[in-house]
Amino acid sequence: MVCLCGSQKEYKNCCKAYVEGSAKPQKAEMLMRSRYVAYAMGNAAYLVDTTVKENRYEDDAALIKEFSVNIDWLKLDVVKSREEGDVAMVEFKAYYMDDNHVILHHEKSDFVCENGVWFYDKGELFDTKIGRNEKCACGSGKKYKQCHAKV
């Protein structure tokens, strides 16, 4: 199976060890990619565990799981990534299908490294629309305006 993070690598050679907890991502971008995979797989515990302690709420796990398993995750695009010492920023676009509509989640996420382990800190959401002439994220090969923009 190809990893859902968009790396084009096999899952077992990419995010699997991170999502299953047998390894820690060495880069913030890999943490962000593995968190996307965790969302797609409904692994809420991983998402809670990889958030900085001051923003970690165990009660969120049930809500995250419910959200994650009730939508179809389509693809992840990393827009840019910057790491400087123990802080990093990853801007990404995650596409998912909800009620037969393609939704774009565009975020700039901040990460911190504590004792050699990367954690998600906070994110800034952008109000970005899917371009009418972009390829639809559903994988049909059609332009968005000819596919799910019509729904």
* 3 state SS for 29-94: HHHHHHHHHHHHHCCHHHHHHCECHHHCCCCHHHHHHHHHHCCEEEEEEEEEEEEECCEEEEEEEE
Residue-by-residue pLDDT tens, the chain, 151 positions: 999 999 999 999 999 999 999 999 999 999 999 999 999 999 999 999 999 999 988 788 888 888 888 899 999 999 999 999 999 999 999 999 988 889 999 999 999 999 999 999 999 999 999 999 999 998 899 999 999 887 6
pTM beyond cutoff 0.85: yes
Tokens of 71: 């939508």
Domains by residue range for the chain, with CATH? 11-146 (3.10.450.50)
Torsion-angle region of residue 141: left (phi > 0), alpha (psi -120 to 50) or beta? left
Looking at residue 151, its pLDDT comes to 62
